[in-house]
């Protein structure tokens, strides 16, 4: 028990005892003293129990405060981790967007470069046909008398025509296949096309190609074969 509280309690009890003993017989005084001493012991016992309860409450409060501090620290760590994860997600999303934009830009640039190269080759075909020369500079002379080529009005396509004796085959067309940039699987379709099939159309890379094959009589033993060909870039 607290010493100051105990001393004050004893002093209070002594004061009451003195007041109660005045005018009493010895026997009465002994009884009253015994009763007060018993009461004092009970009060001291209760005060001691109260002090223990208070001390227990203080310990519980300290434990609760410690738990609260631990919980706050844990919450702070969780918040920091969530913030870090959110920032990492934002960085990753930005990186993905930037990569996508770069890829799209590279794809556009590659397409533009490819288109420019294709148009350049077609323009060279037109120039070579006008000169009646093969891509390697060989003079084709009369073999290309019936071969024509021109760029479309918008400059994004070429119209090619070749007519030869069927026994010779489409020499003019064969010479410029590589410059025209026609893939093998399209050439296979062209070679299997007959006049009855009408005009055919296919798409490869960024090019739309259409063609038709026709055969004409020369009035003699040899007939003619001709191809009408159109290639244009898609927008």
What pLDDT is recorded for position 92?
93
Q: How would residue 221 be classed by pLDDT, with cut points 50, 70 and 90?
A: low
Tokens representing residue 22 in the block: 């005045």
How many whole angstroms separate alpha carbon 53 and alpha carbon 42?
Answer: 16
Do the domain assignments include residue 54?
no
3-state secondary structure (DSSP) of residue 161: strand
What was the pLDDT predicted at 168?
82
- Report the SS3 class of residue 77: helix
Q: Is there a domain that residue 88 lies in? A: no
Reported as a pLDDT band with limits 50, 70 and 90, residue 18 is: low
Classify residue 65: in a domain, yes or no.
Answer: no
Q: How much of the chain, in percent, has pLDDT values that exceed 90?
A: 54
> What is the structure's pLDDT at 46?
74
The pLDDT tens digits for 138-185 are 998 888 899 999 999 999 999 999 998 887 889 889 999 999 999 999
Residue 37 lies in a domain: no
Which residue would you say has higher pLDDT here, 235 or 4?
235
Using CA atoms, how far apart are residues 216 and 116, in angstroms rounded to an integer? Answer: 37
Q: Is 213 helix (H, G, I), strand (E, B) or coil?
A: strand
Residue 118 has pLDDT above 80, yes or no: yes
Number of residues in the chain? 235
d(CA 225, CA 165): 6
Opening angle at CA 27, ends 24 and 32, nearest 5? 70
| Residues of the domain holding 212 | 119-233
pTM for the complete prediction?
0.62
- Tens-digit pLDDT profile for residues 58-101: 888 888 888 898 999 999 999 999 999 999 999 999 999 999 99
**Is residue 35 one of the residues assigned to a domain?**
no
Q: Tokens 């309860």 appear where?
A: 53
Edge-to-edge strands of the sheet including 224-233? 147-151, 157-165, 224-233, 207-216, 200-204
- What's the CA gap between 91 and 112, in Å, rounded? 31
Residue 235 pLDDT class (50, 70, 90 cuts): confident
Q: Which residue has the tokens 């010493």?
A: 3
Q: Judge whether 131 lies within some domain.
A: yes
| The pLDDT of residue 1 | 54
In a domain, 174, yes or no: yes
Distance CA(204)–CA(118), nearest Å, equals 13
3-state secondary structure of 228: strand
Domain for residue 219, yes or no? Answer: yes
pLDDT score at 222: 74
In the chain, what is the straight-line distance between the N-terminal and C-terminal CA atoms, in Å?
98
Indicate the SS3 state at residue 160.
strand
- ∠ CA 146-152-155, rounded to 5°: 130
Rounded to an integer, the average pLDDT of 5-24 is 59
Say how many domains are in the chain. 1
Contact 36, 16 (CB under 8 A): yes
Average pLDDT value for the chain? 86
């Amino acid at each position: 028990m607290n010493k100051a509280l105990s001393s004050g309690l004893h002093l209070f009890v002594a004061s009451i005892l003195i007041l109660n003993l005045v005018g009493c017989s010895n026997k009465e005084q002994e009884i009253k003293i015994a009763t007060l001493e018993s009461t004092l012991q009970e009060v001291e016992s209760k005060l001691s129990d109260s002090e223990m309860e208070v001390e227990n409450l203080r310990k519980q409060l300290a434990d609760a405060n410690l738990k609260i501090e631990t919980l706050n620290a844990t919450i702070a760590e969780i918040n920091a981790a969530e913030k870090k994860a959110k920032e990492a997600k934002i960085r990753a999303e930005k990186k993905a967007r930037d990569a996508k934009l770069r890829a799209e830009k590279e794809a556009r640039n590659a397409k533009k470069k490819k288109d420019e190269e294709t148009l350049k080759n077609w323009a060279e075909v037109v120039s070579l046909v006008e000169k009646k020369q093969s891509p390697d500079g060989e003079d084709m002379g009369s073999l290309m008398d019936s071969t024509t080529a021109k760029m479309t009005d918008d400059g994004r396509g070429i119209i090619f025509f070749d007519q030869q004796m069927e026994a010779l085959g489409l020499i003019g067309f064969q010479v410029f296949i590589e410059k025209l940039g026609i893939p093998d699987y399209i050439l296979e379709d062209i070679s299997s096309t007959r006049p009855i099939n009408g005009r055919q159309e296919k798409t490869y890379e960024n090019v739309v190609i259409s063609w038709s094959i026709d055969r004409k009589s020369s009035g003699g033993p040899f007939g003619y074969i001709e191809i009408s060909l159109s290639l244009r870039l898609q927008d």
